[in-house]
Structure 1
């Protein structure tokens, strides 16, 4: 049995559909098990070594040396069946603790994992994955609508200029005196200008229709815990961060209540976190990490306090040229970027009467920080509802 077959056996033990385990490379499959929260390990028996282990395994068995693990599983390997067969048993860990393990026999070793969680836990995990996909789809839909509005606005400007220039030229031609033998040529020119003006106006109506189909969405006003919202964003992106091996750290010790639209603010945070991840993917280093820091900034006399969320990365940073064009629509330093993500983020934050800006790290530190500042809201009553949820959801395995 190959690795993909072993993963399908793990999926069956978890009570999940076998097609959740794609036939893919080992690092991607390790990331899949990590995202599912499984304590799993790929053990090669000859030559002895550990190919990969998930964060959950490291958390539970950090003090289990590779050599001791190899020795403890040697009897199971010697008594193994054909590749594809499965087994289970209790294995002595350091300190004499017995650990119940399941394994699948591969061609050169074993795929180990802890016993499957109870059915209710597996169902909760599947619900979490479905909710995450639904939230990401909704966020993409909001982005498409805002992108269409931005495109309509930007395209409408040159269309309006073209129409005005054509009208001006037509007005000048109307006042132009030409000899009788050139009147036919003048009429042809006027007809051509009219056709061009008609096409420009037709393009303007198309743009107007796009704006009608994608109306500008105003933010819903509900009380939100910004800390819980940021924690949910970490959970949405845990798979991507685990895949790239970039840890996420959080310095958000207290609840932080604001008034706003959860979906819009979530889209802003997710987009900025993705940018931070991509910056460190281009220039990985020993300090690669993303930090979410939340702090309360006292307001001046008569001005409410602000809650400031910082998304800090240690990636490739920004050049002065890229910095000057950062929020300009359709200007991007990425080869495949459209240059509207940060424009949409700033638009969403400003719809909440907030601010979005960035700072470059001073040498020798690399990277930059993006800052979101929103007006603080009073704490809600003790019984939180859907929007007023005081307890943040636990982040995924990428969170440190």
Structure 2
């Protein structure tokens, strides 16, 4: 009720000032024509509070000074003073002190509210800057992967063409990978544009083994260059999932490249990557990727998916955060756990697509 009245007075300051004058007049008359031992002037505190709800600081100070002056005037105008004059003076001083303290506290509260508003403004500005930086880093991270793959395939194509005799077949395969990665980069940009417009992801029925096959073909150059032995164990007759092919491919690419980087200090003959895809009950598809790297420290396990947290010197700390967001937006879950004999296992689950009804 009070807040509604305060908002109304702010919108109509003229009516608010008229109300203050009426209140001060009523209190002044009551204080003047009542006995001195009754401290009616204390009610000027209500006037100060009312003024604080819609007047600026200077206005509150002026109202407080006027209320104090009216209190003194009432003291001398009150009839039948006599022996009660001293008691009336004490009550007047108490009332003036109450007016002063109330005005001081009101001004302190106004200053605190201004400081809080400024702090909220600064936080909002910082949040916008942080969001812009996070968006920029996210775009750079997602675009960097296909660009790096294009560079790797281009180098491979050049090596096969410079080979004596030139290996045209492998060079053509490298060129095809470059074309696929250019398409993937374009799809990432298109998806970012859709996200900026709050458009829905392009969800279709997908065979996850096909998505994995495309990813492994693109990552083949990195696997060979780092001498990583890959073994895949994909269950037969896997159910389809409903998802965005580009997004899910981006998650798998990120997990594979992270695993390759994690095994850089592992001896060449021990760099093994095991990929499993199984159907879980009820209606779940589970992907897991096990590496033979150094594993996950307790701190890494706790902060692995935190935005901008990374153990890589040149990492952005966004890959796993983005990947988890993608999987969760598909109704799944992404997590990490230690492997049995060192290394780490990254897993995600996705709900299986509902079975299609046979056409009649």
- With the length of structure 1 as denominator, give the TM-score of the two structures: 0.45
Report the structure, 1 or 2, having the larger strand content: 1
Higher RCO (CA 8 Å, separation ≥ 6 residues): 1
**Higher Rg of the two aligned structures:** 2
